[in-house]
Amino acid sequence: MEKLNLNPEAPEPGRVDRHLHALDYVRNELGNDEKKFESIIRNVQTLQVAIPSWALGTGGTRFGRFPGGGEPRNLEEKIEDIALLSELSRATQSISLHIPWDIPKDTTAIRQKLGHYGLFIDSVNSNTFQDQEGQLHSYKFGSLCHLDNDVRKQAIAHNLEVIEYGKALGTSSLTIWLSDGSNFPGQHHFRKVYEKTLDSLKFIYQALPEDGSLLLEYKPYEPNFYSMVIPDWGTSYTLCQACGKKANVLVDLGHHLPNTNIEQIVSRLLHLGRLGGFHFNGSQYGDDDLTTGVVKPFQLFLIFLELVFGKAEGLDNPKVAYMIDASHNTKDPLEDLLDSLENIRTAYAKALLVDREKLVQAQEKNDVVEAEKILRNAFLTDVRPLVTEARIRAGGFWDPLGTFRGQDIRKKLISIRGEKSLATGL
Ligand code: LRH
Ligand code: MN
């Protein structure tokens, strides 16, 4: 099966003039600093965000799931959908895989298909938060933290298997999120389950390839609602430190208690040299997995500001992995992912606008009004022309969402895959 072909599209009449006019406005906002103008466009072009293989179908909640039809029925069709997103947006070239939701039947064929579309696997995710058919030991009471040796051994073996799939598919990055935790006081001995988890992680860490990386994700609650073994960045950080320098903290934006200052956590992890990567998504309350930047665009801007300043201060090791982790209950999955890619690049472009010198001067004078104004001006600047220019220069479409709808992509996918096709994943 081949990816659907997109018909090239010329911009509608007057679109180019409007675009050039809008670019002039931004150039003017930058005091006609051509060097800065061009560097922002180049940086936005290089920002590539991985697409989660588990978010190409319609997600659901325990209350219901409303599939929209034409969902990818296997890994091959998921790769085709991501190739479509890449062709439209030029903002993604890679896929995060989840095992066993996306076990490749023929790794060579999958690598060829990825190569054919210029895509690659950026990380493989293990899954010890669900019991698989025929599994010997249940993860009901945990996996890597389990007090029963056999359960831990089974969970460790699964992660080693996932590392092998990664190697066969060309990635040496393993992402671990543990649902391990407790629902009631007294259920867990907090230190014991931490120690068991650390022991297990060390086994897995030893199995990583020489150039391997372990991304350790934290989450304050769900599916356990009294305690999680890895509830916050600090716990993930101490476990990573104890494992070794290949282990770094994965920040899922939805994995924070309300009103958490996530940009400060990002700044701290950059400072400590342990920021491994992101799972981008949007949330109003908890792990809502909504479109990135749709609810709190200013927070996303502040997070990218920490990344831009960190880089400017030489804090760019380890290389940060940018990935989306979302679930689409009411939006078309591909339209939602296009929105997230656009919002992520928009937040990055606004952060690149900020005059760091001016801000540092205001900070050193404790001129809090001036400091805040510098950020507000950048955030309120319409950078969409820069994001469009970055996409067009890379051969992307003028209006990815408009093209997706205008060329009836979803209808065509439904005609090929059917109304009832369901993708594996959340
Ligand atoms: C857990 C999580 C984790 C994935 C899963 C799909 O909430 O964010 O990253 O494994 O979602
Ligand atoms: Mn996540």
Amino acid at 409: I
Q: Calculate the average pLDDT of the chain.
A: 96
Work out the pLDDT band at 4, boundaries 50, 70, 90: confident
198 C-alpha to ligand 1 centroid (Å) = 20
217 Cβ closer than 6 Å to some ligand 1 atom? yes
284-292 average pLDDT score: 97
- Distance, in Å, from the CA atom of 357 to the CA atom of 154, rounded to the nearest integer, reads 53
Q: With contact defined as beta carbons under 8 Å apart, do 345 and 322 qualify?
A: no
Residues 6+ apart with CB under 8 A from 83: 3, 117, 119
One-letter amino acid at 69 equals G
Q: How far apart are CA 199 and CA 159, in angstroms?
A: 14
Q: How far apart are CA 152 and CA 136, in angstroms?
A: 12
Whose atoms come closest to the Cα of 287: which ligand? 1
Phi-psi region of 31 (alpha: psi -120 to 50; beta: other; left: phi over 0): left
**Separation of CA 27 and ligand 1 centre (Å):** 40
For residue 172, how far is its CA from the centre of ligand 1 (angstroms)?
Answer: 19
289 Cβ below 6 A of ligand 1: no
Per-residue confidence (pLDDT) for residue 372, from 0 to 100: 98
Give residue 316's pLDDT band: very low, low, confident or very high (50, 70, 90): confident
Q: Which of 61, 159, 325 to mutate to test the pocket of ligand 1 (most atoms within 8 A of CB)?
A: 325
Nearest C-alpha neighbor of 173 from the set 226, 103, 94, 236: 94
Q: Is 125 in the pocket of ligand 1 (CB under 6 A)?
A: yes
CB of 287 shorter than 6 A to ligand 1? yes
Section 265-271 average pLDDT: 98
In this prediction, residues 383-387 reach a mean pLDDT of: 98
| Nearest protein CA to atom 6 of ligand 1, as residue | 426
CA dist 65 and 63 (Å) reads: 7
How many Å lie between the centroid of ligand 2 and the Cα of residue 252? 5
Reported confidence tier of residue 143, pLDDT bands at 50, 70, 90: very high
pLDDT of residue 252: 98
Q: How confident is the model at residue 426 (pLDDT cuts 50, 70, 90)?
A: confident
Query: What pTM was computed for the model?
Result: 0.97
* Cα–Cα distance, 345 to 337 (Å, whole number): 12
Name the pLDDT band for 425 (thresholds 50, 70, 90). confident
pLDDT value, residue 1:
59
46-76 pLDDT, tens digit each? 999 999 999 999 988 899 999 999 999 999 9
pLDDT at position 375 over 90: yes
For the cut 90, the answer to whether the pLDDT of residue 86 exceeds it is: yes
Question: What are φ and ψ of residue 176, in 5° steps?
Answer: -120, 125
- The string of DSSP letters for 45-106 reads HH---BEEGGGSSB-EETTEE---S----SHHHHHHHHHHHHHHHSS--EEEEETTTT--S-
Q: Which ligand is nearest to the CA of 179?
A: 1
Which of the ligands is closest to the CA of residue 127?
A: 1
Residue whose Cα lies nearest atom 11 of ligand 1: it is 325
* Crossing angle of the two packed helices 356-364 and 368-379, in degrees rounded to 10: 160
Contact 54, 99 (CB under 8 A): no
- CA–CA dist 73, 136 (Å, integer): 28
Q: Is the minimum distance from the CB of 180 to ligand 1 under 6 angstroms?
A: no
Compute the average pLDDT of residues 209-214: 97
- The ligand 1 atom at the shortest distance from the C-alpha of residue 287 is 7
